[in-house]
Structure 1
Amino acid sequence: MIVYKTEEEIDLIKQGADILGQAHGEVTKFVKEGVSTLQLDKVAEEFIRDHGGAPSFKGYNGFMHSLCISLNSAVVHGIPSSYSLRSGDVVSIDCGVFFKGFHSDSAYTHAVGNVDPLVTDLLIKTKESLYKGIEWAVAGSRIGDIGFAIQNHVEKHGYGVVRELVGHGVGKSLHESPEVPNYGKRGQGLKLQEGLVLAIEPMVNLGSRHVVQEEDGWTIRTRDKKPSAHFEHTVVVRKGKAEILTTFDYIDKALN
């Protein structure tokens, strides 16, 4: 069942999304060599709780942490650990906030120290593809238009789009209908209407699109062990232009 949101509900999601954006910004300050991914997880959880929210991921299907932290060839759902970041790592940080009854969800992939230029370009093109997809999150478009825009942008640069994992609706539940694939055909799938809140999240590999699940039951890794990138925003479908509810502004401020 697809649940469309009222303006009051969208405003609550936006409030939570701002806490989420600030949490990402706080974590960004610690994304550097020598910091463990468990430390990043602690920073996020403390910030979210101190600002009246709860981490959406903690306890979700038994997941024990506030962040999914996916390193290098890990695509998504990586588990925070004692591993300390090193120069050359790329690290996807995926976070959700539950605030006043509603979830918001976003992800950002960081480069640590000196990263291979090929990988830097992967991050740039994946982030670009997120906004290409968001351009189609407007009333009257279809789900396939979003996926096509993402797929078309990254595949023309030779990258692989993960198909087993998709974006999704978001609201009172972290994962709602509809699914939002990062591939597709124009004009196909659900017709978008105002008030639909979606988490759009390209997952793009430097090599092939194929992935495997690790023995931990969570981490999804590229089959060829090449790096992957992941960027995500929560958006609401509007007429003419989508409204992005989450923000990378606090990340940008921390990076600059």
Structure 2
Amino acid sequence: MGMPRDSHGHLTPGRISAQRPVPSSIPRPEYVGKAAPAEYTDGDVYDAETIELIRQSGRIASDAITAVGRAIVPGVTTDELDRIGHDYIVAHDAYPSTLGYRGFTKSVCTSVNEVICHGIPDDTVLVEGDIVNLDITAFKNGVHGDTNRTFVVGEGSQEARDLVERTKLALDRGIKAVAPGRQVNVIGRAIEMYAKRFGYGVVRDYTGHGVGRAFHSGLIIPHYDAPQYDDVMEVGMVFTIEPMLTLGGIEADIWPDEWTVSTRDKSLTAQFEHTLVVTERGAEILTPYEA
């Protein structure tokens, strides 16, 4: 049985296992053990050496998602997916950035079906036709690399497969809009224009962000047409683009766990994310993977 779900098949909170240990030899981000991260004031532009370190962290995060993705079949629990991701990151001498971030107790965010983001791995059993987003950030050498992908469990409906594929293409559109001298809002405009072609909702409450020495630097990267976000992209700037698209509305509810965010109308939602750096020619993805 694919519990815990309600009689309509919608997700309900499951049992969360004990926090997984990280060897003491692996350096922690400064916020672990604190209520919140320290304020970050160092900006979002990095030198070549630091960009290379972010790329290394990003590669670990991306390869962790690939490893977890291989285990996505009907019958697996989201907690088991967290175990695989946790073990992969730790085996590569990195720290799973979400573990201990503002009280989050897991190393992977597993967001299933109507869950937009920040789903907590638990004893939820994946069933044929589910979609599940894996969001993993790895911290190594003092920097974070952040990425996510959405997977279809088994075959999935045409509607679900299309949503997943088009959300990935929406991310590609956003990345193509990156260029030095442009405002970050061009990214959101490109994504929203593409999503609107299919009548998809574009979630506004959660955005891309500056990443590197900080997990979230304060820089906001919108996924919708938002002229108020007028930061100008410059060469060496590092941030994420991570559109969340829905088959229905964009109104969201936050669960009592204060993390899990689901669509109010319970419509399916998918997300893809890369960390990238602005280059002279556009953008370079720091979290690539083999399709």
Structure-1-length-normalised TM-score: 0.95
Write out the 4+ residue segments of structure 1 that deviate beyond 6 Å after TM superposition. Answer: none
Structure 2 Cα separation of the partners of residues 204 and 84 of structure 1 = 23
Contact 1:162–1:205 (Cα < 8 Å) also in 2: yes
- Unpaired runs of 5+ residues, structure 2, are 1-40
Structure 1 Cα separation of the partners of residues 206 and 229 of structure 2 = 19
Q: By how many angstroms is 1:241 displaced?
A: 2.0
> Structure 1 residues 44 and 158, CA, compared in 2 at 3 Å: closer, same or farther?
same
Aligned to 2:24: none
Counterpart code for 1:89: D
Q: By how many angstroms is 1:137 displaced?
A: 1.9
2:65 paired with 1:49 = no
Q: By how many angstroms is 1:114 displaced?
A: 2.5
Who wins on radius of gyration, i.e. which is larger? 2
Alignment identity in percent? 38
SS at match of 2:248: coil
> Structure 1 residues 140 and 29, CA, compared in 2 at 3 Å: closer, same or farther?
same
> Structure 1 residues 184 and 43, CA, compared in 2 at 3 Å: closer, same or farther?
same
Aligned to 1:199: 240
Q: By how many angstroms is 1:188 displaced?
A: 6.2
Pairs within 5 Å for 1:19-98: 19-98=60-139
Higher normalized helix content (fraction of residues): 1
Structure 1 Cα separation of the partners of residues 62 and 232 of structure 2 = 29
Give the length in aligned residue pairs: 250
Contact 1:143–1:180 (Cα < 8 Å) also in 2: yes
Aligned to 1:4: 45
Q: Deviations over 1:114-170 (max 9, x none)?
A: 211111111111100001001122211111100000111001210000001100000
Contact 1:137–1:236 (Cα < 8 Å) also in 2: no
Counterpart code for 1:76: C
Q: By how many angstroms is 1:187 displaced?
A: 10
Structure 1 Cα separation of the partners of residues 126 and 62 of structure 2 = 22
1:135 maps to which of 176, 190, 203: 176
Structure 2 Cα separation of the partners of residues 187 and 223 of structure 1 = 26
SS at match of 1:98: strand
SS at match of 1:65: coil
SS at match of 2:218: strand
2:181 paired with 1:124 = no
Q: By how many angstroms is 1:77 displaced?
A: 0.3
SS at match of 1:48: helix
Structure 2 Cα separation of the partners of residues 185 and 14 of structure 1 = 29
2:215 maps to which of 174, 188, 208: 174
Aligned to 2:21: none
Contact 1:13–1:103 (Cα < 8 Å) also in 2: yes
Structure 1 Cα separation of the partners of residues 145 and 245 of structure 2 = 22
SS at match of 1:108: strand
Counterpart code for 1:128: L
Q: By how many angstroms is 1:247 displaced?
A: 1.5
Aligned to 1:229: 270
Q: Deviations over 1:48-107 (max 9, x none)?
A: 111111101000000000001001000000000011111010001000000100001000
Q: By how many angstroms is 1:189 displaced?
A: 1.0
Q: By how many angstroms is 1:185 displaced?
A: 5.0
